[in-house]
Amino acid sequence: MGSVLLEGHISDNGQCTGDNLTLLDEPIRDTIVKNSWDLWGPLVLCLIMSALLHSSSNSESSGHGGPEFAQVFIIFWLGSAVVTLNSKLLGGAVSFLQTVCVLGYCILPLVIGLVICRLLLLASSNSVFVFIIRLFTVICGLVYSSYASFIFVHPALPKNRVALSVYPIVLFYVFLSWLVISVT
């Protein structure tokens, strides 16, 4: 394929800066990234987390008190929806499904931590050392998930409302982290 030549006078009047870009004059890459959300990745991560948490609660007895598959699934999607709605009500300039998508992808460190915790429990379940490693793994996943969400939310909100939007996100990930460390 050859080059496409454009004819005519093309000029830049200097009025288009990074601060005042709108949908029509923003870079194409930013438009594609903003409009190309998907929910398949978060769905798969949620299914993995739900299945692993459910299987760990079934390993001992049915009256163990661990979460059921549907409970984890509903907690994840309702939590994502509430956090996203909070961001939108605070004046966030992001779409609802895009925020749910990002929150879903940001649980990947927690899912990896859950897999590591399950593998550690296969080796030794009653060791204090194993619990400390599991706790450290879950805390690292929590910090990474929260930071990744913060990076996404920070530019999309008014500067005076970032903390109001980040707090429920961190609380959401703390709850999921608590499920990971307490159930496994």
What is the pTM assigned to this prediction? Answer: 0.74
- Close Cβ partners of 100 (under 8 Å, ≥ 6 residues apart): 37, 39, 42, 77, 80, 81, 84
State the average pLDDT over residues 155-174. 89
- Quote the percentage of the chain above a pLDDT of 70: 74
Higher pLDDT, residue 54 or 26: 54
Distance, CA of 161 to chain centre: 19
Could you give the angle at the alpha carbon of 78 between the alpha carbons of 70 and 153, nearest 5°?
A: 135
pLDDT at 126: 76
pLDDT tens readout for residues 55-110: 765 445 455 556 788 888 888 889 888 988 888 888 887 778 888 888 889 999 99
88: tokens are 């939108």
